A and B are shown apart, each in its own frame.
Chain A
Amino acid sequence: MNFWFELLQNILQIAISPTTAAFVLAAIGLNVHFGFTGLMNMGQAGFMLVGAYGFGVSVSYFGLGFWAAIAVAVGAAVVFAIILGIPTLKLRGDYLAIVTIAAAEVIRMVVKLAVLQDITGGPSGIPGNKYRPVFTELSPLPDGKTTILGITYANTGVDDWWTRIVAWGLVALFLLITWLLIRSPWGRVLKGIREDEDAVRSLGKSSYAYKLQALILGGIMGAFGGVVMALPAAMQPDSMGRPMTFNLWMIVLLGGAATIFGPLLGSILFFVVRLLLTSLAGEFIPSSLLNTQQTEQLAWVLIGLALILLVVFRPQGVLGNKKELSFNV
């Protein structure tokens, strides 16, 4: 009984954790790219990385304050989107996929460079306590701990309520922004581009400019995801690599591409199901048969298979509408 109760509590915890929120943020961005505009961005982790490092380096190396550092993070994502977008947005979808994945890898390799050790921390990244204080000092919460539904965290600290409030507040804000934009004429043009770019161009809309705007917007969301991901932990270049991008794709497809709440639902489902898999396996399969590491590997095998099954049998995800499906190449 105890196990099940704790499992339930764990599920709750994982559902509201800042990491989940970070994934939601980045997935909302990816959904703006892929779901609404049809851009095959395979480098969303790169946006998270430039955001996280833009923030972390600004604080830890340049000594900037919180808001300035956030501005740098956003600026870095904008620049990254422009650099990526200019050569690729005129090309066919699969080129964009290859170039974005390549650019995300390049940027990861660059921050890992040993010569940048002083600035980016090289391969080991930047420890959280070097940049977190600028964030925690903004907390209006009183000192101490708070327990909600049996879950206790410090109000303000390393992995605290303050981070959660801000993270989920951002999620709400971005959901609102996408909701407004998708129902606007701007969103209609994006949808048109997703359907047939040449048709939209023949009607006098610069599809290039719209795609670039979408890339920038989704990239900024990704950058916030990166910052939120780094706040309660440390900044790790390799935590924002290819697997991260693939996970985000999984999340967007799971929840339903081109829906407003798909990324939110997808992200929570993704984490909860993984938690269930690993903890159930840990509890009921003797470790002589399957140790923790192997459980983890099998969980990944299942994720891979789930991705295949999902995209083949239910490409619209949980919330999506098959009629509005956005695979068009």
Chain B
Amino acid sequence: MTRTTAITVSTKRPLGVALLLTLLLALFLGVFTASPAHAVECVPDAATGCVQGVIKTGAGDPAAGIKLTLKGDGESQSVETDAEGRWAFAITAAGTYSVSVEKSSLPEGQFFKSADTREVEAQLNSQASALFPLTDNEAEASGGETSTTGKGEAASSSSADSFSWPRFWQQFVSGIRMGLLISLASLGLSLIFGTTGLSNFAHGEMVTLGGLLAALFMGLTGNLWIAGLLAVVASAAFGWAQDKVLWKPLRKRRLSLMQLMIVSIGLSITMQYLFQFFWGSGVIRIDKSTPATWTFFGVTLTVQSYIAMGISLLAIIGVGLGLMYTRFGRATRAISDNPALARASGIDVDRVINIVWIIGAGLAGLAGVFLGLVFNGLNWFTGGQLLLMFFAAVTLGGLGTAFGAFIGSMLIGMMVELTNIWLPGDLKYATALLLLILILLVRPQGIFGRKERIG
């Protein structure tokens, strides 16, 4: 990764005055590179120049995990694009460099629209960029590249920015898929919020954990079903442990909700960098085989996507029915309504909350497994990136109501995928967040929420 490159290059220098500068620089870079959104980062300064760019799929989504090589000035570096499709090289001497993209690392169904190698003129203290436009339309691909087989998910769409009914339909189903995956995570977030009042900023990391564990278990067992199951079980166990070790003692200490929220932010940072430490910052794939696709009423998705949607729906219905008809469900709702009253009427509040954590974490883990499969890989920040979508979903539905969280999730999922038809892919999360802000403007308590009482 470039970030390492920049830092290791600088530490190679001799000690002395230069070290002062470079340490400062390293720290500076540290500050800048701290942004988890990008492991790929390069900041130009007097001793550094950057060659960088973003690679997007034909549909406008960032293309992660693409390998690039930079050659020139007697050196050669390689990087992979990060989750947002970004790549960057840091150079320490001005000159002409050539950047090439490894064709085999392109996502399935993506082709070069033009060249796969470009020459760039790079200078210190400045940035140079190179474009590698991709297309999902074989006809548009540059000569000789069309031999690649296999169809990507967006293969049925003709162009990134024009409306057509088949494309709408494709995105609509993708929206349902996205909504269901978001639901899995936001149900847990909502249940935890409802029973404990905690806005859990570490919920995204519980999702990531599920996916990463699935990859780990996949490596160990080789069976996707077993790996997924183990990952969910391990996630649920993590939820149990988290509550026992962290949250329950903190509740006993009577920390305010704001404090708890900041604790969850600290936990989120800790987990993100532990993930990086153990799994690196690249894309981790759970299932390394080329996923089979299935076209159904004109919608092409991977078979795994269909299975994921089915299981998600079952899990959501299961949790919904459980909340409505079981003793545990009634206890959960009683606690959400009035914890003191619930405790007074003999409900073992701590036990119920513990179960809520187990279920919430298990669902989040499941969401992580499916996200890793459906989007063909995940990294340490996958959950963190979606965290705001979960919050948006839960807030939209009205904080703390499970059914609201589900409806909110479906709305957000649709929003994310459908706006993709008209707006640049960069904005697909932005529109969902804007929707959140707008809805709060007209209905602050969310769609299904209640107002608080005063006096």
Contact = CB atoms under 8 A, between A and B. Distances in A.
A and B touch in the complex (CB under 8 A): yes
B69 to A, nearest CB: 20
Contacts of B226: none
A327 interface: yes
Given A106-B433, A124-B127, A91 B444 contact: yes
A239 B38 CA distance: 10
A181 interface: no
B28 interface: yes
Given A2-B15, A246-B265, A292-B8, A300 B424 contact: no
Given A236-B43, A244-B34, A297-B273, A109 B426 contact: yes
Interface string A304-318: 111110011001000
Nearest to A279: B23
Contacts of B268: 304
B392 interface: yes
A115 interface: yes
B1 A293 contact: yes
B263 interface: yes
B388 A114 contact: no
A50 B239 CA distance: 38
Interface stretch (A11-19, A183-191, A217-225): A11-19
A311 B433 contact: no
B437 interface: yes
A246 B202 CA distance: 13
Given A102-B388, A307-B262, A91 B270 contact: no
Interface string A80-109: 000000111011111101110111011001
A64 interface: no
B30 A274 contact: yes
Interface residues of A, number: 82
The size class of the interface chain B forms with chain A is: 35 or more
Contacts of B277: 294, 297-298, 301
Contact of A87 (B253, B256, B263, B440): B440
Contacts of B37: 238, 241-242
A307 B44 contact: no
A301 B270 contact: yes
B11 interface: yes
A312 B250 contact: yes
Given A99-B437, A127-B44, A109 B36 contact: no
A169 interface: no
B1 to A, nearest CB: 7
Interface in A114-143: 114-115, 122-124, 127-129
Contacts of B437: 87, 99, 102-103, 106
Nearest to A112: B426
A282 B13 CA distance: 14
Interface string B12-53: 000100011001101110111111111001011110001010
Nearest to A90: B444
Contact of B258 (A88, A93, A275): A93
6 nearest CB pairs, A to B:
A304-B270, A307-B266, A304-B269, A308-B266, A300-B273, A327-B256
16 contacts: A40-B258, A86-B441, A97-B199, A98-B436, A99-B436, A102-B392, A102-B437, A109-B427, A123-B54, A233-B45, A242-B35, A249-B262, A278-B26, A308-B266, A311-B255, A312-B253
